[in-house]
Amino acid sequence: MCGIVGYIGKEEALPVLLDGLKRLEYRGYDSSGVVVLGEKVNFEKTAGRVSALEKKVSKNNFFGNIGIAHTRWATHGKPTKTNAHPHTGCKKEFFIVHNGIIENYKELKKELEEKGHKFSSQTDSEVFAHLIEEEFKDYHNFEAAFKGAVSKIKGAFGIVAVHKSDLEKILIAKKSSPILIGVGDGEHIIASDIAAILGRTKEIIYLGDNEIAVCEKNNIRISNLKNEAVGKKVHKVDISLEEAEKGHFETFMKKEIFEAPEVIKNAVRGRLIESEGTSKFGGLDDISERLKDIKKIMIVACGTSYYAGLLAKYWLEDFAQIPTTVEIASEFKDRKASIDKSTLLIAISQSGETADTIGALKEVKAKKILTLGIVNVVGSTISRETDAGIYNRAGPEISVASTKAFISQATVLALLTLFFARQKTMSLSEGKELILEIKNLHGKIGQILSNQKNIENIAKKYFKYKNFIYLGKKYNFPIALEGALKLKEISYIHAEGYAGGELKHGPIALVDKDFPVFCIATKGSSYNKMLATIEEVKARGGKVICIATSGDKKISKIADDVVFIPKSSEMLSPILSVIPMQFFAYFVARYLKKDIDKPRNLAKSVTVE
Ligand code: M6R
């Protein structure tokens, strides 16, 4: 997620800006940049980490008391140095950083190019720097040119700009993208996230939509788009950095579950070719020729990422007819897995730093096998060690129990399935239908999230039980495993996941009135078999909690408790059914008063084998 920091005051701007950028790292990003204005213009950008930017600028003398900086998370254009912010115009006089999307940038860019402007990046944001430059030709005044430029853009923006010949002010505009101004002693710190400000001041002005601020060292003026002055309150915020990052949620886990709709949109953005009913990934461009020779896929991963891999196996075999095996990464190294050069190895990892997965990846790389990483953390070891990569774009996952990362992994894997399936037997219309289903996912998840109270009530009824079985069939079998893992991890209750049909082969011996069974019985080809399984549990006096498709009247008659989820394609139903599982584990753990974000004995990233 993009982050903005700006500074004007009596101190050197660079350390404040870099500190602010580091505090925004938790949001995730892929490139960064800074400009500090003093006797000269000090300007540097880089693809990659803020630490890389820091190394670059430390070699130069970046002196000056005013500056802006940015961490970019690519939307328009690849994560390269050129596409990183700040952006500047042709004469390198105005510098801007921007969060959001300038929807009419293509039209504006065309007009500006016709007037002779030369663009260097592929971003929508650069257009704003050129716009100020153009407006300045008429107004000869930074503030007026900035306002003129703001009046021409459509979309969402938090924009901060500086002018190399006006070291007395920073200009800011906001619409639908957060911007805050920290009021310090003879200084102002501007940021898109309170985390970048709290280290210096707790006095904050929240800029409203369609407001423009002129920030000087000791003064701040805010107006609306009609140039009328707007009075603003300075809020005293009394929260810690961690609280700031959590927003209004009591835990990171809950916050991250609620991010699911956004996570899906981000995973999909720019990756669909709707007219061709297929998907595309920038990260696969370099290996497109080698991919043509692939006959098999092997997935290596651990924990939740492994379950995402298991789901992908079902999809890849059902829809793309590619034989796929899924290996627990820690097991892979200890056995002689059959793998040759016709295999594509996919390593799935949220952190990109899981030692077992890295170990498996290294073994495979030594055999010169094509490797692909599906990773959330940008720049992590797995993202660097694989031949090609697809980022999840889920943003930082802080809670040890993985939730939104799983949603993003499953979404990326659904897109990857579409990519391969369309090269095989999936028809154009089937591809288009799947795209429509994918595009509807985030709205359906929104409906499930608004039903959290129902799941909380069920958790309240069951939190004292000591054992659970989770059952699911076909695409929902990996979800049963994932649901059981979530409950174990954060509530410390014993839970086992099984394929629905396996119950009668052993685990049914455990079932009695004290052993609740959590069943995923959504509509689809396995529905009737799951109903039969539920009847078997009920016949043994077991209690049944069900996830079912909304409108299913039958299920309410046999299950003790039901969570309904919206209707969807059978293929994508697991991306919906996992959410109530996450919530159930969450609420059970909360009733048991467990440390939800930091469960005992667990680490977010397991960096030892
Ligand atoms: O970062 P990774 O996805 O490679 O992590 C793999 C597992 O350690 C991880 O999914 C773990 O199982 C989580 N705690 C699950 O919530």
CA of 400 to the centre of ligand 1 (A): 8
List the structure tokens of 325.
């095996």
Question: According to the model, what pLDDT value does residue 608 have?
Answer: 76
Please name the residue that has the structure tokens 């667990």.
602
Residues identified as active-site: 2, 604
For 101, 241, 426, the CA distances from 147, given in Å and listed in that order, are 18, 33, 51
Could you state, in order of their start, the residue ranges of all structural domains in the chain? Answer: 3-243, 247-448, 451-609
- Match 């961490």 to its residue by tokens: 71
CA separation, residue 490 to residues 389, 452, 484, 592 (Å)? 31, 18, 10, 10
User: What are 3-19's pLDDT values in tens digits?
Assistant: 899 999 999 999 999 99
Residues 546/562, Cβ–Cβ less than 8 Å: yes
**Cα dihedral sign for 225, 227, 232, 234?**
positive
pTM for the predicted model, two decimal places: 0.76
Name the class of domain 247-448: alpha beta
DSSP designation for 176: B
Q: Note whether 3-243 and 247-448 share their fold.
A: no
pLDDT tens-digit readout, 575-587:
999 999 999 999 9
Q: Which atom of ligand 1 is nearest to the CA of 302?
A: 6
Contacts for 131-137: CB closer than 8 Å, 24+ residues apart: 132/89, 132/94, 132/96, 132/161, 133/89, 133/90, 133/91, 133/93, 133/94, 136/93, 136/94
Q: Where are the beta strands (DSSP E) in 473-534?
A: 494-499, 517-521
The pLDDT tens digits of the residues spanning 426-475 come to 999 999 999 999 999 999 999 999 999 999 999 999 999 999 999 999 99
In the reported structure, the alpha carbon of residue 297 is separated from the centroid of ligand 1 by a whole-number distance in angstroms of 21
CATH number of 3-243: 3.60.20.10
What are the pLDDT digits (tens) for 196-214?
898 899 899 999 999 999 9
Collapsing DSSP to helix, strand or coil, 471 comes out as strand
Give the span between the Cα atoms of 337 and 331, in whole angstroms.
10
For residue 541, the Cα-to-chain-centroid distance in whole angstroms is: 42
Residue holding tokens 């139903």? Answer: 573
Give strand ranges (E) for 289-353.
296-301, 324-328, 343-349
Instruction: Indicate if ligand 1 lies below 6 Å from the C-beta of 303.
Output: yes
Does the beta carbon of 403 sit less than 6 angstroms from any atom of ligand 1? no
Using 50 as the pLDDT threshold, list the residues of the chain that sit under it. none
Question: What pLDDT does 77 receive?
Answer: 72
Query: Is the beta carbon of 606 within 6 A of some atom in ligand 1?
Result: yes
Mutate to test the pocket of ligand 1, among 251, 256, 300, 304 (most ligand atoms within 8 A of CB): 304
Q: For residue 343, what are its two tokens?
A: 């295999």
Pair 313, 326: CB distance under 8 Å: yes
Distance CA 87, CA 120 (A): 9
CA of 601 to the centre of ligand 1 (A): 13
**Burial class of residue 179 in the structure, from the number of CB atoms within 10 Å of its CB (0-12 exposed, 13-18 middle, 19+ buried):** buried
DSSP annotation of 229 reads B
> Which homologous superfamily is 451-609 in?
Glucose-6-phosphate isomerase like protein; domain 1 (3.40.50.10490)
Cβ of 489 closer than 6 Å to ligand 1, yes or no, is yes
- Number of residues that make up the chain: 609
Tokens linked to 391: 């980022």
pLDDT (tens digit per residue) in 250-265: 999 999 999 999 999 9
List the one residue out of 425, 403, 412 whose CA is nearest residue 249.
403
**Does ligand 1 have an atom closer than 6 angstroms to the CB of 381?**
no
Tell me how far the alpha carbon of residue 605 lies from the centroid of ligand 1, in angstroms. Answer: 7
Cis peptide leading into 323, omega within 30 of 0?
A: no
